[in-house]
């Protein structure tokens, strides 16, 4: 069910978004940057993964450094959604997004209804228990010993299967891989980190048929590395999509001024390609996989662009 859903999503992207599969078979290392929204924030949960080659990421870091210097953003803070209360970041958000949109790569977005408890065989709570038992019996660690182990394991497997699928699709299994994850929960603690470090190489081999060198890094472990800036893409998208849904579900369009800018950028054609899917539960225990395209409805885009606005949404008023 999971792989079929991904395949259908890619076909939908090829039809509606002019998506074309990048050939990264010559890249030495595929980079993956991921972030996730909080599940306790309404009906939806978002997962966003950015795939690009190490060479492409390294090349763009030079441009990012110049951008930061030009706009006085050399404070070491990541350009993330919650930082948009900083007026300097808010005013250059459009430019920041356009710069990152020039990256050669692919963004995969999953917007899942919180009633999707498992995206694999059957969407039931029992499925999570079965997954816990299967992973433990296979020697990959007993996640039931950790808090929210079943939910977090399903989240981790959902993410790692996307990584394995896209790694095979983009590189033919010919490159090594580095996953930089900004979700502390699924990699928190020795058990989860060790388990994920063993599971991901096995999943990569399953999809590609090759054993590859696989690294897993958290945002915290990056320190001051310039690679932290690429987590901006999944962070901004995951948070903006969530806020967009909160605002529209509540009929509070004034809530989504920040989200509108990011969502508009999401729908603009650019070198950085997008596969965006929405997962909702089916009454028969299955999952509906549908193309997710709210950004095509320009009526949702409220508020003015950052360059036209005064203070950032949520910021304190300026005093003269």
Q: Look at residue 31 and tell me if it is in a domain.
A: yes
Residue 315 counted as domain residue: no
Let me know if residue 319 belongs to a domain.
Answer: no
CA distance linking residue 125 with residue 298, whole number of Å = 38
Q: What per-residue confidence (pLDDT) applies to 208?
A: 92
Structural domain containing residue 146: 2-308
244 neighbors 302 (Cβ within 8 angstroms): no
pLDDT at res. 267: 84
Say what the pLDDT of residue 248 is.
76
pLDDT beyond 70 at 31: yes
Q: Write the CATH number for 62.
A: 3.30.420.10
317 in any annotated domain: no
- What are 186-230's pLDDT values in tens digits? 888 899 999 999 999 999 999 999 999 999 998 888 888 889 999
Q: Check whether 147 has a pLDDT greater than 70.
A: yes
Kindly report each contact of residues 292-301 with a partner whose C-beta sits within 8 Å and lies 24 or more positions away, as own/partner: 292/109, 292/111, 293/16, 293/267, 294/244, 294/263, 295/263, 295/264, 295/266, 295/267, 296/267, 298/264, 300/244, 300/248, 300/253, 300/256, 300/260, 300/263, 301/260, 301/263, 301/264
Q: Is 320 within the bounds of a domain?
A: no
The answer to whether 144 touches 136, Cβ cutoff 8 Å, is yes
* More confident: 269 or 160: 160
Q: Which residue has the higher pLDDT, 163 or 314?
A: 163
What's the whole-number mean pLDDT along residues 12-20?
70
> For the residues 95-112, what does the mean pLDDT come to?
94
Give Cα 104 distance to the centre of its chain: 16
């999952």: which residue's tokens? 287
Residue 283: its pLDDT value, please? 78
- Backbone phi, psi, residue 214, to 5°: -125, 130
Give the tokens for residue 78: 């990541």
- Cα dihedral 301, 230, 66, 78 in deg (nearest 10): 80
294-318 confidence digits (pLDDT tens): 654 444 444 434 444 444 554 443 3
Strands 29-36 and 44-53: antiparallel
- pTM: predicted TM-score of the whole model, two decimal places: 0.89
**What region, left, alpha or beta, does residue 178 occupy, with left being phi > 0 and alpha being psi -120 to 50 degrees?**
beta
pLDDT value of residue 204: 96
**What secondary structure letter does DSSP report for 175?**
S
What does the pLDDT read at residue 23?
Answer: 86
The pLDDT score that the predictor gives to residue 7 is 82
pLDDT of residue 66: 93
Q: Between residues 313 and 130, which one has the greater pLDDT?
A: 130
User: At residue 268, does pLDDT exceed 50?
Assistant: yes
pLDDT in tens, 32-88: 999 987 665 578 889 999 999 999 999 999 999 999 999 988 777 788 888 888 888
Residue 313's pLDDT is: 52
Q: How many domains does the chain have?
A: 1
Instruction: Determine, yes or no, domain membership for 104.
Output: yes
Residue 313 domain-assigned (yes or no): no
Is pLDDT larger for residue 183 or for residue 187? 187
């Amino acid at each position: 069910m999971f792989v079929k859903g991904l395949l259908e999503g890619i076909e939908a992207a090829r039809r509606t978004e002019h998506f074309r599969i990048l050939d990264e078979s010559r890249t030495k290392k595929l980079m993956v940057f991921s972030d996730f929204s909080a599940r306790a924030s309404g009906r939806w949960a978002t997962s966003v993964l950015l795939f690009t080659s190490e060479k492409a990421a390294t090349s763009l870091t030079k441009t990012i450094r110049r951008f930061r210097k030009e706009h006085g953003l050399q404070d070491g803070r990541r350009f993330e959604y919650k930082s948009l209360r900083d007026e300097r970041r808010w005013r250059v958000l459009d430019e920041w997004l356009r710069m990152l949109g020039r990256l050669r790569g692919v963004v995969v977005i999953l917007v899942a209804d919180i009633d999707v408890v498992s995206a694999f065989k059957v969407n039931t709570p029992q499925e999570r228990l079965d997954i816990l038992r299967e992973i433990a019996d296979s020697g990959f660690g007993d996640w039931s010993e950790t808090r929210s182990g079943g939910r977090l394991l399903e989240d981790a497997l959902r993410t790692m299967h996307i990584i394995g699928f896209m790694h095979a699709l983009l590189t033919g299994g010919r490159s090594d891989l580095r996953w930089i994850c900004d979700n502390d929960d699924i990699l928190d603690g020795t058990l989860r980190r060790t388990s994920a470090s063993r599971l991901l190489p096995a999943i990569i081999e399953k999809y590609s048929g090759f054993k590859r060198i696989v690294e897993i890094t958290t945002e915290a472990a990056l320190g001051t590395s310039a690679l932290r800036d690429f987590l901006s893409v999944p962070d901004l998208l995951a948070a903006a999509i969530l806020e967009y849904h909160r605002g529209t579900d509540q009929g509070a369009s004034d809530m989504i001024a920040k989200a509108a800018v990011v969502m508009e950028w999401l729908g603009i054609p650019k070198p950085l390609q997008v596969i965006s899917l929405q997962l909702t539960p089916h009454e028969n225990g299955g999952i509906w996989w549908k193309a997710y395209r709210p950004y095509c409805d320009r009526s949702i885009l409220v508020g003015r662009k950052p360059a036209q606005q005064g203070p950032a949404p949520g910021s304190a008023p300026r005093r003269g």
